[in-house]
Amino acid sequence: MPIATLSEVLQPALKGSYAVGGLVTLGWEDMRAFVAAAEAENCSVILQAGPGCREHTPLPVLGKMFRYLADNASVPVVAHLDHGYTYDECALALDSGFTSLMYDGSRKSLKENIEETKRIVKIAHESNISCEGEIGFVGYSNGENSAGTDPAEAEIFANETGVDAMAISVGNVHLQENKEGGLDEDRISKIQMLTSVPLVIHGGSGVPTEQRKRLAHETNICKFNIGTELRMAFGQAMRNAVNKDVKRFDRVSILKETHDPTVAVVRRVLSNLKG
């Protein structure tokens, strides 16, 4: 199936009251499992290359990997740059075949964030691909604190940038290993009243499963980014494979055993979001 843009999978989600998984990849083994899970669930999937992934594998290589998987998949697959921090990084992703750029100016002033995000929206739309922006800073577990999204600023940001999707800070936190938190539904409601763009939750692994499922079907949240939850499952599967035979050293044989357990976890995540 031809590779999809972010808008091509989020607009149907917005109209159909469901969400799509933005799955944070680290390498070939997990991204292949993510697509296999999406095919098994018969739903779209967004493959995301975040900063950690890009430190390990160059964007041009990731673009070819994503496109190979998309071209051979039976469901829509989006190649998404997650947390692009500079114009040059976003431009390289575009040149590398990505179909969605996420520019993160959330640490900047509203004025700067709007100005810089508009530049990325422009190059994305000129190439007929999508752009996600972020308003309000989503913090990190045991790290930087969040700055919640101001609904009035969200309205201004959405209108002035023309983004295809908008990431918001409503109690979500990156790298959270448990689900003890929860999203601020009152703030989500206020943002939704003032905007019509598909909303995105970063740090989706920390959102309680039932809340994640309900908000996917009852609000304009059309994309949940899931990373930590999947990395934990992959890591446990690899640990089990290594410990099963401590003399085994062939990494291909070890990594093959991560596939089925990862697919099983991803299927559960996707099944709760899809329409």
CATH classification code of 6-234+262-273 = 3.20.20.70
Mean model confidence pLDDT for the chain: 94
The 8 Å CB, 24+ separation contacts for 64-68 are 64/96, 64/97, 65/28, 65/31, 66/3, 66/31, 66/97, 66/98, 67/3, 67/97
Is 178:146 a contact under the CB 8 Å cutoff? Answer: no
Residue written as token pair 């009243």: 193
Convert the pLDDT of each residue in 120-171 to its tens digit: 999 999 999 999 999 998 877 776 666 789 999 999 999 999 999 999 999 8
Helices 259-273/28-41 angle, 10° precision: 50
Q: What is the pLDDT of residue 143?
A: 67
pLDDT band, very low/low/confident/very high, at 239 (cuts 50, 70, 90): very high
Convert the pLDDT of each residue in 55-67 to its tens digit: 999 999 999 999 9
pLDDT band, very low/low/confident/very high, at 225 (cuts 50, 70, 90): very high
Is 135:147 a contact under the CB 8 Å cutoff? Answer: no
Of the listed 30, 82, 104, 164, which one is catalytic? 82
Is 164:10 a contact under the CB 8 Å cutoff? Answer: yes
**pTM passes above 0.85:** yes
Is 232:24 a contact under the CB 8 Å cutoff? Answer: no
**Maximum separation of any 2 CA atoms in the chain, in Å:** 59
**82 carries an active-site annotation:** yes
β partners of residue 199: 166, 221
